[in-house]
């Protein structure tokens, strides 16, 4: 699989993998690339181009995971990216899935409980995910920022950091949602809406797995290392 | 995870013959051993479903019994040295005799390993599994399911694993929705906030 480089044209990244659109957007880079390269656009938007290229490559190819390279970036840079991803989930992905799921429920015949229970399942899943995101943003990320910027202020407070279990559960449920729709619902609803919904869920799943991977394999090891050095 | 056929028989002729029949009819991995002890070499976690074809003389052999317990889906076939075999055995799921045709052998293996996709009943839950699923969906723990069905917790866990493997649904909320869709429980059976 192709590995992107800094002298590639930004437009060619999108042609190679359009799923990168929101990733690039998360860095604040807007369309209208002209023939500018990754390096040129990163300079224009004041983005660390090494970090950018590591993120797009690891998103593009799950086997490409430059742990050492990524581990060398400041946790602050990574937190900033993770927060932007959270915002994208909260403002765009989750409402999008929710809206389509609701449309689907409305399109199924009256008295059919299937879609209603699937919708409830999703709403409960969303609650758990939002709680997890809030926990990271309100407790974990500030702790890490404090650990780096003013270590003396958080004497002896070791935070237990492991998301793997929670991430695992979150992944399971989104996979279940897919399987329920694909394998076990009666096709009495609007098929086109359901297809769009599934495509959106697949996209979201890819995004969230990538996100969890960065947290579990990059951010947490970095923080553990800093904690152990103290 | 994959499916495979393992042949265990002391006779070279039998092993080679069955292997040839299978290879000519299905593209499936075939492993051959002359003694049951050699089964221990097989990396079990790699195979989710196995057809084990072995000499009827290995009836109740310990290694084979362990193999059955440790493989998700397994079909154990006895090979009888008689021309025709009418004996049905508790130990063997089915018995091939010397007169079993190559078509019968291939069909049996194909069906079990799901080569015939038309035969898609593999996500059908057994009555017992449905009962376990119903209790899971109602929020019962393994322990309380075991108590109410008079089975061991270990058996409950094994049922849960089979249910999850068959359905591809792993979380408790997901299984609950499945149970509602399949009318194994009704919507009113569950307290909404608590379970889904």
Q: pLDDT-derived band of residue A187, with 50, 70 and 90 as boundaries?
A: confident
Q: Which of B123, B177, B187 sits opposite A121 (nearest CB)?
A: B177
Extents of the domains making up chain A:
10-69, 74-229
* Residues 140-169 in A contacting B (C-alpha not used; CB under 8 Å): 169
Domains by residue range for chain B, with CATH: 2-118 (3.40.50.2300), 122-195 (1.10.10.10)
Any idea which of A147-156, A209-218, B9-18, B94-103 has the lowest mean pLDDT? A147-156
DSSP B143-194: HHHHHHHT--HHHHHHHHHHHHHHH---SHHHHHHHHHHTTSS-GGGS-HHH
Q: By CA distance, what is A115's nearest residue in B?
A: B181
Pick the most confident of A66-75, A149-158, B184-193: A66-75
Q: pLDDT-derived band of residue B196, with 50, 70 and 90 as boundaries?
A: very low
* Residues 75-114 in B contacting A (C-alpha not used; CB under 8 Å): none
Of B126, B106, B125, the closest CA to residue B116 belongs to B106
Whether pLDDT at B68 is above 90: no
Burial class (CB in 10 A: 0-12, 13-18, 19+), A51: buried
Indicate yes or no: CB of A176 within 8 angstroms of CB of B171: yes
- The C-alpha of A173 sits at a distance from chain B's nearest C-alpha, in angstroms, of 6
A177 touching chain B per CB within 8 A: yes
Indicate yes or no: CB of A113 within 8 angstroms of CB of B123: no
Indicate yes or no: CB of A114 within 8 angstroms of CB of B180: yes
Indicate yes or no: CB of B174 within 8 angstroms of CB of A124: no
What is the average pLDDT value for chain A, to the nearest integer? Answer: 89
3-state helix, strand, coil in chain A (%, to 5): 75, 0, 25
Tell me the mean pLDDT in the region A121-135: 94
Which of A114, A115, A121 to probe the B interface (max B CBs under 10 A)?
A121
Q: Which of B167, B168, B180 sits opposite A117 (nearest CB)?
A: B180
């Amino acid at each position: 699989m192709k590995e992107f480089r800094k002298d590639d044209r930004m437009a060619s990244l999108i042609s190679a993998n359009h799923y990168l659109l929101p990733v690039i957007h998360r860095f604040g880079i807007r369309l209208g690339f002209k023939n500018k390269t990754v390096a040129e656009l990163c300079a224009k938007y004041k983005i660390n181009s090494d970090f950018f290229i590591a993120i797009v490559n690891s998103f593009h190819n799950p086997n490409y995971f430059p742990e050492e390279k990524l581990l060398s970036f400041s946790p602050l840079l990574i937190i900033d990216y993770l927060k932007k991803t959270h915002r994208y989930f909260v403002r765009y992905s989750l409402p999008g899935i929710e809206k389509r799921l609701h449309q689907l429920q409305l399109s199924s015949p009256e008295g059919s409980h299937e879609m209603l229970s699937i919708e409830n399942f999703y709403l409960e899943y969303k609650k758990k995910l939002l709680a997890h995101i809030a926990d990271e943003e309100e407790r974990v990320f500030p702790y890490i920022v404090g650990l780096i910027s003013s270590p003396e202020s958080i004497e002896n407070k070791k935070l237990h950091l492991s998301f793997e279990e929670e991430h695992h559960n979150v992944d399971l449920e989104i996979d279940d949602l897919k399987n329920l729709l694909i394998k076990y619902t009666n096709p009495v609803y609007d098929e086109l809406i359901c297809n769009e919904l599934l495509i959106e869920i697949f996209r979201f799943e890819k995004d969230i797995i990538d996100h969890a991977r960065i947290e579990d394999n990059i951010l947490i090891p970095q923080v553990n290392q800093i904690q152990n050095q103290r | 995870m994959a499916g495979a056929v393992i042949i265990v028989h002391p006779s070279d002729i039998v092993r080679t013959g069955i292997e040839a029949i299978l290879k000519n009819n299905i593209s499936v991995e075939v492993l051959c051993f002359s003694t049951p002890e050699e089964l221990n070499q097989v990396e079990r976690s790699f195979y989710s479903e196995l057809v084990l074809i072995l000499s009827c003389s290995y009836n109740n052999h310990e290694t084979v019994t362990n193999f059955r317990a440790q493989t998700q889906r397994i079909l154990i076939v006895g090979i009888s040295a008689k021309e025709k075999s009418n004996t049905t055995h508790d130990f063997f799921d089915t018995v091939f005799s010397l007169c079993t045709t190559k078509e019968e052998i291939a069909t049996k293996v194909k069906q079990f390993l799901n080569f015939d996709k038309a035969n898609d009943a593999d996500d059908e839950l057994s009555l017992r599994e449905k009962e376990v699923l119903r209790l899971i969906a109602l929020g019962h723990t393994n322990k309380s399911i075991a108590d109410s069905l008079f089975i061991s917790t270990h058996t409950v866990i094994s049922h849960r694993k089979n249910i999850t493997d068959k359905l591809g649904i792993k979380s408790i909320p997901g299984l609950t929705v499945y149970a509602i869709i399949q009318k194994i429980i009704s919507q009113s059976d569950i307290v909404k906030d608590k379970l889904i």
